[in-house]
């Protein structure tokens, strides 16, 4: 009886030791300006804030330009893809974007990121990203493609 219990315990330990859990990496958001001219968005002042402080605790200010990022146009939309980590929009901060050419400030906060995990065998590849289903843009909640999230800024 003791031998049987030992064998069952050993089998369970081996079975569970082959399981692997991968916690997905933090996702980033792409910036998209809809109905803006290239000149209106060629220089953007991005300010990061400590999340949840109502934009009262700035961390740093960075200029987003085409010298360090990829700008592309498709029809009426300018898409900006971050070239380095410091230009990426993550759920760990709140942001303001200032467009000097228009004198306009845009507030982005409450970026909600779901901490995802996948489970599998010992050969499981950990190459997943968390989902970001929504964020707030100027105090309005905006839904986004949670797998490939974008911040959509429409010209007013």
Domain boundaries, the chain: 26-154
- Using a pLDDT cut of 90, give the percent of the chain over it: 72
pLDDT tens digits, one per residue of 87-115: 999 999 999 999 999 999 999 999 999 99
Cβ–Cβ contacts within 10 Å for residue 27, how many?
Answer: 22
Cβ–Cβ contacts within 10 Å for residue 144, how many?
Answer: 19
For 133, half-sphere exposure in the C-beta direction (CA atoms, 13 angstrom radius) is 3
For 14, half-sphere exposure in the C-beta direction (CA atoms, 13 angstrom radius) is 6
For 18, half-sphere exposure in the C-beta direction (CA atoms, 13 angstrom radius) is 6
Residues 6+ apart with CB under 8 A from 67: none
Could you tell me if 104 and 98 are in contact, meaning their C-beta atoms sit under 8 angstroms apart? yes
Residue 35 has pLDDT above 60, yes or no: yes
Confidence (pTM): 0.82
């Amino acid at each position: 009886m003791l031998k049987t219990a030992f064998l069952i315990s050993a089998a369970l330990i081996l079975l569970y030791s082959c399981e692997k859990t991968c916690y997905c990496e933090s996702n980033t958001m792409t910036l998209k300006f809809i109905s803006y001219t290239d000149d209106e968005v060629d220089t953007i002042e991005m300010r990061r804030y400590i999340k949840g402080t109502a934009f009262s605790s700035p961390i740093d200010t960075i200029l987003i330009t085409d010298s360090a990022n990829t700008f592309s146009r498709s029809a009426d939309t300018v898409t900006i893809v971050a070239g380095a980590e410091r230009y990426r929009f993550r759920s760990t901060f709140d942001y303001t974007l200032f467009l000097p050419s228009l004198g306009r400030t845009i507030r982005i906060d409450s970026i909600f990121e779901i901490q995802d995990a996948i489970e599998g065998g010992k050969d499981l590849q950990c190459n997943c990203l968390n989902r970001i289903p929504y964020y707030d843009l100027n105090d309005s909640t905006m839904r986004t493609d949670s797998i490939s999230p974008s911040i959509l800024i429409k010209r007013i």
